[in-house]
Structures are given as structure tokens and as C-alpha cells.
Amino acid sequence: MQTSFLKYLALRLATAALAVVGGVVLLLSLTPAHSREPRGHPARAARHPELIAALNVQMGLDLPLPQRLLKFFVDLAQGDLGTDILTNRPVLDAILEALPNTLALAVASMVLAIAIGIPLGAIGAFRPNGKIDQLIAFFSIGFISAPSFVVSIFVLLLFAVRLDWFPVLGVGTGFLDQLWHLVLPAFSLAILWIGYIARLLRSSLLEVLGEPYIRTMRAYGVPERVVLLKYALKPACIPTLAVLGMGVGELLGGAVFTEVIFNRPGLGSLVYQSISTRNYPVVQGGIFVIVLVFVVTNLLVDLSYAWIDPRGRERTHLEGERPA
Amino acid sequence: MTLPINRRQALVGGSALLAAATTGLLKPRFAHAADDTITIRTEEDLSNLDPANRTGPIDVNVINAVQQGLIAFKPGSTEWELDAAEDLKQVSDTEISFKLRPGLKFTDGYGDVDRRGREVLLRTFHQAGFRGQEGHLCRRLAGAGPCRVTGPLTGKLVLKNAAPALWVIALADGSGRIISKKAFEKLGEKGIATTLIGSGPYVLKEWKQRDHYTLVANPDYKGPIKSHFKTIIGKPIAEQKTADLAFQAGEIDFTQISPTNVKTFKALPKTTVTEVPAIDYIWFGPNIEAKPFDNVKVRQALRLAVDIDAVLTGAYGGLYPRANALLAPGLIGYWKDAPVYKRDVEAAKKLLEEAGQGGGFKTRLTILSNAENQAVAAIVPGPISRKSESSSRSRRWKPRPIGPWARTTPAPSWNSRWSSIAASSTRASRPNGSPRTRSAPGTGSAGRTRSSTIFMSGAPRRWTRRNARRSTSRPSSFRTSLRPSSGSPTISTPSRARTG
């Protein structure tokens, strides 16, 4: 069994590595699509055509794609993601400064989404099609439909400007201050996932509640609350867990609007600003890290999914022992 | 290690956090906490603090606050005055001699300027420029030669050719900053990109990238410029809406605001809204060396085909009057009686036929993607395309929201500088170019002759500040310095704002 799991792990690791390499190939392939445009800093490039060539050399854009790929991976093996063409700083430094802010935002959003979304989904499934369920459905769909940047503006207007409860800008200093700066952006970002998780959990919970073993428990007189919370909720959360893995990955790269509006110096806003200044080394490094985190997160979720769900473990076990 | 928290403890903890928030315990320190501190919004973060490699107006404003030049612009003016130099003379067409003020001292222990006269270095003149290329001043300004030190406090600049514009676009601006040779040699090109050593009225105390930077008054500064604030905190806020909200929430004291929000901000207590007349340019930048735009008649036809008034109404809500020349009112060289090109389809058709393009042609309009530009891109091709339907061939425009090269909206002085560079190059290339000029930039007509400008809008800039201070909040402390920018002006630090 252990051997089969190791085989499964090796397979998933290989798939994940392939996904990262594929992402890098795609990323580097897209860069020369701008070859008709000046690639350097716009202000400089417009005035100094010879600087464009110098910048291209510095960014490695003068090399053919295979050489660029090779150079990228060789540099990567040495922990070098390139140099910021504007500040002359190592790209890795800029990313390591930004990444904790984005991770904090993504994790806080997801925690908030889970903390609110799962109870809402459970309440909805407890009395399906009741008034509370309909109300939750109404809000959930509303949350899913509301773009995060619109929500961000509204929560800022209400909680920062009118009520003066929370700050508008930045990430803060010190743990409590950083936590306080995290509330509004995390909430804005979590809104969509609250609705999504609530709807997803409700439907999977209803499906589980229709299973024969639940019917048996009810027949034995197990209280409904115990049936729901103890025996139905855990298996119903498994599909949600898989979605959460994707969600964390998406939040890492998709928090751009929230980071821009709340002026948080995170990874998304770093990549956004670098795209607007055509700072390709930072763009490449930033997207590479986002891809990496996305793939690693999904890998961990896949592994935990197999670990949590006994049926999944069994399937893995059987597939591992299946003769070739 | 585990941290056992039961439900009751979690509820109590949550309530305590909420209580702390509502009572202000966890509130951030707001911008107007101290009278001698001002928090300003900049549209971008600092990028490169090496004067020779600076990337834009945000960099140069901070560089100018920390490093001195031989001369500096007078606050709110394009006239210059002596700064680090006690004396400055144009000895000949190609030689400028200077004498530094005594007592100038570099920050961070890099030495007294007067004791280390030989370490004074005019970075751009003396060193290779961007990425090892020849310093752009050397190339563009008829070849500025080395800065030669002739004594403890004296030196001279030797030019290869006369460069009259050197005074206003180099000596008084970011290119002419004096940096410590010792600091440059120690820190290297990469080091001085992030570490700012100077002798100016402010010290860059902290720069937390993409979050904020802090300038504090330099106690060792000996020059004539007065610092109105002990501390200036710059916060890069790219999103205009965020800046508006941050100002309303009291987290910043000074920002540019959306024109549509002027009424809202005027109604805020302790707030002053300042409107600065300016011109916001949008121009077509066709390749005039390639067909069909190599023919001036095609460009003229395009100018006549675009309905500029419709653009101003449709894309800018009719808020801005039309500008008909490159320079804003108030600038030297402003062309008051510039011709107003109204849409004239028949004349445009005639010009196209004369250019051999009677059947029309296809081209592509590339814009920088934002709401205003997309509206412009939607309006501009409309009438042209409709007109083409009556032509024998389709002449379609395809707005593509990608690269910025064909579209830019510089601040007025950006264009002024651009014009000035072009004009001064022309003058300097004459055998007997004027040895020196103190006129404001933008006095030449190069902008008009070179430009393929089709339309402009006279878009005033709105700035707002909070009147939360005593004398330190005098309007004179807030000068706008319209510098090269990709769309918006930036404010100068109060170091440039002198009340005399």
C-alpha cells in the first residue's frame, strides 16, 4: 500500500513539475509577441532607440526561445529570477517582499470564506427550500455575482470612510495592525467564495443526506443535528476541499484588483505594475511564482483529498496494485 | 504545541477585537497626526534614485529634495536660481565655471563637500549614462564634457558644443544633481539606485518599496531652501479611486483627484481644492516614414476627419475645453491664435484623393487600455468608418488596447521639455548658437512642426489638500511641479516651495 501511494505521489509530482515547465514555456513564448513594440521603459525607449537594444540584451529578449528557456532554468537553479530593469534589484527580493502579503490575503480570505460559507451551506441544507435557505441562496448568488473590485469600493466607502473603522491603505506594521489592515481586503475577496462554498456545500450535503447510511441513522433515532454535523458534513466537505485548493491558487494570482484598490504591495499588484512598465524580468518571475504556488497548492489538495477520503485512498491503492 | 481555544474563548477574543476597533485602539496612525508631517500620494513608487538612470517624475522629485544641483528652479516657476553654487558663470559658449557654497555636507557620513571638492561629481556629465551607454546629455546636448575640479570649491563644465538649453533642462533639473564620488564608488551603480546620498534639504530616511518612503529634513543642510515640513511621507497609490477614498478617510493629506469629484472634495471640511490649468494631450503617432502616413496630405486628411468635439463630449463628459496648440496658456510660447481644425469630411476626402488614397486604406489604432482611451478609440474611428461606407473601399479602424507607444498623455511640461529639447538641439546645432538662455522651456516651435497632433483637450488638473495645519499648510507650500509623466503631473516636495 505504501509503495502504491509512493508511486501515486511520484506521478503527481511529475505532473506538477510538467505543469510548471509548461507554464514557463508558455510565459516565455508570449513575451516576444510584443516584439513590434519598444520593450524598454517607455519614456526611455521613446527617446533612446539604442537603449531598447541594451534593455533587450539585459532582459535576455534578444535570445531565441530555447536559449531563453535554458537560461531561465539555469538561473532558477541558482536561485536567480533575474534583475528588475528599473530598480536594479534582484527580482527574487521583490517577490519575497510581496509574497507574504498576498499569501496572508489569500489565506485570510479563504479562512473567512470557509468560516462563513460552510455554516451558510449547512443551514441551507438543514431546511432545504425553506425561507432561510432561499434567503441564503439569494445572498450567495448575489455574492458570486458581485465583482470583488466593486465590493472593495463599497466596503471602503462604508467601513473606512463613513464609519472610520478600518484603514484604507497598505498592510500595516506589527501583527495586530497588519491583521486590522487585512479585514476589509480579505472580506472583499472572500465574498465570492462565501457564496460559492455555501452553494457547493449545500448541494453536496443534500446529496450525502440522501445516502442509505444517513437514512439508517435516522431510522435508529440519531438526532438530526448529530446526523448533519457529525456524519454528513465531513463527507460533504470533500468536494468543497478540492475547490478550495483551486481557490487558494486563484486568489494568489487573482487578488490583483483587491491589492490595487487597497494599495497592498502584494504579488498581484507587483505583476500588474510590472506589466504596465514592461518590466519583463519581474513579470516572468512573478508569474512563475504564482504558477508554482498554484501547482503546489493543488498538489497538496490532491494528496490531502486522497488522504481524507478513504474511498480515494482505496482507489489509489487499487490503481497502484493494478497489473500493467 | 497546541493552543486550545474553546468556543467561549473565541467569542470573547472576537468581541475584544471588535471593541478595540470601535474604540480606536487598533486604528492606524492617520496622516494628519502631526503638524510638521505631511503624507502625500504619488501615482507610482520610486524606481531608480540614480539621477542618470531615473525613470520619471516621482524619482526626480525625491532626488531633487535630497540632492542639490548647482542651480534650481524657483518654486512654481521655470526661472532658475543659484542652489549649491554660490557663483555660476558662462565663461564661453562651451565653458561654464562654478563655485560651490561653503559648508555643504553629504548625508550618511560621506563627507563635507568643501573638504572633498575633488569628490564632487555631476553624475550625468561625468559618468557613463544609462546601462553603460554614453551619458544622454553628452549625446543630446552637443556633448557635455567632463566636470573638471579646479579648486576646493571651484570647477568648470566643458562642453564640446554650445548647449543653451543645458541650464534649464540639465543643470536645474535631475540630470544636474551633485552626488558624492565616494558614495558612488562605494555603492556602485546598483547601490545608488536605491540609496540616495546628497546634500539637499531632505534625507531619504526610509523607502519601503511599494508601500511608502519617508523624507526627513536634513539638519546639516546649509542651502537657501526652506523645508516646510519635518517629515514627508510619500505613498504610492496607483488607483485614483483609492486615493480619493484615502483622502476622505484622512490617511493622506495631498492628492490629485478625479475631476468628477471636485464638488465632493470642495464640500469636505478643512480641504482646499486647487485647480491647475494644464493640457492633456492625446495624439496620433503614425509612422511618418512609412506609407500612407509619409504623405503629409494623409495626415492632414486624418486631422480633418476626426471629430474632436465629439471626442471631448463623449470621452471626457464635456468637462474640458478644446486646446488647439501644444503649450498651455501661461507658458511662454503659448499660441493663442492657433488654427482650430473643425471636422470637414469633404476637405479630408479631397486631400486623400490628392495623396492617391481616394479609395481609402486600412490602419490600426493602438491605445493604452483605460476607460477614457477606449471611449476615444470608439469615437474616433466611427465617423471615419461611416464615411468610408460611401467610399468604394472599406477604411476600417481597429482599436486595439495594447501598447502605449502610440498614445500618451503627458503633463504640459513634459511636452514643454520635449519641445525644448528639440528646439534647443536646433539652436545648438547652429554654428553660432546662442550661448545661454534663461527663457522657460518650450519656447521653440519644434513641437508644432514635429508633431502630428490631431487633437487635444485643455484639461485642468485638480489637486486637493487638507488644511489641517497652521502656517505649514500655506498654499505656497504646495507647488505643483509638472514633470515628464505618462499621464499625470506630480507634486514637488516642499523643498522646492520657498516662501522667501
pLDDT at A308: 66
Res B177 pLDDT > 60: yes
Residue of B nearest to A50 (CA): B133
Question: Mutate which of B211, B415, B483, B485 to test chain A, going by most A C-beta atoms within 10 A?
Answer: B211
List the single range of A52-56, B71-75, B235-239 with lowest mean pLDDT: A52-56
DSSP A91: H
Which grid cell is A187? 472580506
Strand B120-122 relative to strand B80-82: parallel, antiparallel, unpaired?
Answer: unpaired
d(CA A263, CA B245): 11
Confidence of residue A183 (pLDDT cuts 50, 70, 90): very high
Cα separation, A207 vs B456, whole angstroms:
63
pLDDT value of residue B57: 83
User: CA-CA distances (angstroms) from residue A84 to A32, A89, A95, B124, B484?
Assistant: 18, 5, 11, 22, 22
> Using CB atoms within 10 A of its CB, is residue B143 exposed (0-12), middle (13-18) or buried (19+)?
middle
Cα atoms in the 13 Å half-sphere on the side-chain side of A215: 4
Least confident of A263-272, B24-33, B303-312: B24-33
Angle subtended by helix axes A280-308 and A91-126, to nearest 10: 40
Residue A277 clears pLDDT 50, i.e. is over it: yes
- Of residues B435 and B33, more confidently modeled: B33
Please state, in angstroms and rounded to a whole number, the distance separating the CA atoms of residues B496 and B500. 11
Chain A interface disruption, residue of B30, B169, B239, B417, most A CBs within 10 A: B239
How confident is the model at residue B52, as a pLDDT? 78
Query: The cell 511640461 sits on which residue?
Result: B413
Give the C-alpha separation, A216 to A193, whole Å.
33
Rounded to an integer, the average pLDDT of B7-31 is 42
**Could you write out the three-class secondary structure of chain B?**
CCCCCCHHHHHHHHHHHHHHHHCCCCCCCCHHHCCCEEEEEECCCCCCCCHHHCCCHHHHHHHHHHCCECEEECCCCCCEEECCEEEEEEEECCEEEEEECCCCECCCCCCECCCCHHHEEEHHHHCCCHHHCCCHHHHHCCCEEEEEECCCCEEEEEECCCCCCHHHHHHCCHHHEEEEHHHHHHHHHHHCCCCCCCCCCEEEEEEECCCEEEEEECCCCCCCCCCCCCEEEEEECCCHHHHHHHHHCCCCCEEECCHHHHHHHHCCCCEEEEEECCCEEECCCCCCCCCCCCCHHHHHHHHHHCCHHHHHHHHHCCCCCEECCCCCCCCCCCCCCCCCCCCCHHHHHHHHHHCCCCCCCCECCEEECCHHHHHHHHHCHHHHHHHHHCCCCCCCECCEEECCCCCCCCCHHHHHHHHHHHHHHHHHCCCCCCCCCCCCCCCCCHHHHHCCCCEEECCCEEEEEECCCCHHHCHHHCCEECCCCCCCCEECCHHHCCCC
Position B375 scores a pLDDT of 80
Q: How far apart are CA B134 and CA B148, in angstroms?
A: 18
Establish if B332 touches chain A: CB-CB under 8 angstroms.
no
Q: pLDDT > 70: what percent of chain A? A: 85
Average pLDDT value for chain A: 81
B477 pLDDT higher than 80: no
The least confident of A231-235, A301-305, B147-151, B276-280 is B147-151
Length, in residues, of chain A: 324
Each residue's pLDDT tens digit, A209-259? 888 998 898 899 888 888 888 888 888 888 887 787 777 777 776 678 888
What is the pLDDT at residue A158?
92
Top pLDDT among B373 and B361 is at: B361
A61, three cell numbers: 529578449
Write down the pLDDT at residue B150.
65
pLDDT at residue B235, as a whole number: 93
CA–CA distance, A134 with A132 (Å, rounded to integer): 5
The pLDDT score that the predictor gives to residue B377 is 81
Write out chain B residues lying below 8 Å of A166, CB-based. 21
Q: In this model, does residue B446 exceed pLDDT 80?
A: no
- Top mean pLDDT of B79-83, B164-168, B481-485 is at B79-83
Residue A58 parent element (H or E): helix A49-59
Q: What's the average model confidence in pLDDT over B82-90?
A: 88
Q: State yes or no: pLDDT of A48 exceeds 70.
A: no
How many angstroms separate the CA atoms of B430 and B62, rounded?
36
> Is some CB atom of chain A closer than 8 A to the CB atom of B189?
yes
What's the rounded Cα separation, in Å, for the pair B261 and A161?
15
Measured torsion, CA atoms of residues A168, A171, A177, A178, in degrees rounded to the nearest 10: 130
What's the pLDDT score for residue A314? 55
Report d(CA A70, CA A75) in Å as an integer. 8
CA B209, CA A180: separation in Å to the nearest integer? 21
What percentage of chain B exceeds 90 in pLDDT? 9
Round to whole Å and give the CA distance between B328 and A211.
76
d(CA A237, CA A300): 16
**B107 has a pLDDT exceeding 70:** yes
Q: Do the chains contact at A166 and B21, CB–CB below 8 Å?
A: yes
Residue B413 CB partners (closer than 8 Å, separation 6+): B441, B442, B482, B483, B484, B489
In degrees rounded to 5, what are phi and psi of residue B30?
A: -75, 165
Supply A256's cell numbers.
490583483
pLDDT cut 90: percent of chain A above it: 11
B480-481 and B490-491 beta bridge pairing: antiparallel
| Mutation choice for A interface testing from B18, B242, B258, B409 by most A CBs within 10 A | B242
Which residues from chain A sit within 8 angstroms of residue B58, using beta carbons?
none
Question: Does the beta-carbon distance from A265 to B210 stay under 8 Å?
Answer: yes
Q: Is B486 on the interface with A (CB under 8 A)?
A: yes
User: Which three cell numbers, joined as nine digits, stand for A297?
Assistant: 497548492
- The more confident residue out of B134 and B426 is B134
Indicate which of A169, A267, A274 best probes the interface with B, i.e. most B CBs within 10 Å of its own CB.
A169
Can you read off the three cell numbers belonging to residue B182?
A: 565616494
Q: Are the beta carbons of A169 and B209 separated by less than 8 Å?
A: no
Band of pLDDT at residue B213, cut at 50, 70 and 90: very high
pLDDT per position as a tens digit, B251-286: 999 988 876 778 888 888 888 888 776 777 777 778
pLDDT bin (cut points 50, 70, 90) of residue A44 is very low
The pLDDT score that the predictor gives to residue B145 is: 55
Q: How far is Cα B439 from Cα B79, in angstroms, rounded to an integer?
A: 7
pLDDT at A254: 62
pLDDT for position B146: 55
- Whether residues A87 and B245 touch (CB distance < 8 A) is answered with no
In the 8-state DSSP scheme, what is residue A229? Answer: I
Interface membership of A93 toward B (CB under 8 Å): no
Per-residue pLDDT band for B135 (boundaries 50, 70, 90) equals: very low
Nearest to A59 by CA among A49, A50, A71, A48: A71
Test A176 with B26 for CB contact under 8 angstroms. yes
User: Mean pLDDT highest for which of A95-104, A142-151, B171-180, B323-332?
Assistant: A95-104
- B216: amino acid identity, one letter: V
Contact: A269, B55; criterion CB under 8 Å: no
* A 194-253 residues with CB < 8 A to B: none
- Calculate helix-pair angle for A91-126, A131-145, nearest 10 degrees: 160
Record: contact A167-B249, CB cut-off 8 A: yes
Per-residue pLDDT, B447: 27
- Which is nearest to B174 in space by CA: B56, B43, B42? B56
Vertex B300, ends B299 and B305: CA angle to 5°?
95
Question: Who contacts A308 (Cβ-Cβ below 8 Å, separation ≥6)?
Answer: A238, A241
Q: Which residues of B touch A82 (CB under 8 A)?
A: none
Please report the pLDDT score of residue B411 as a whole number. Answer: 31
Nearest 5°: CA angle at A87, between A83 and A90?
30
- Residue B22 pLDDT level (bands cut at 50, 70, 90): very low
> Can you tell me the ipTM of this complex?
0.79
Give the distance, in angstroms, between the CA of residue A269 and the centroid of all CA atoms in the same chain.
14
Q: Which residue has the higher pLDDT, B392 or A14?
A: A14
Q: What is the average pLDDT score of chain B?
A: 66
Query: A274-278, A319-323, B31-35: which range is least confident on average?
Result: A319-323
* pLDDT for residue B489 is more than 50: no
Pick the range with the lowest mean pLDDT from A121-125, A240-244, A288-292, B426-430. Answer: B426-430
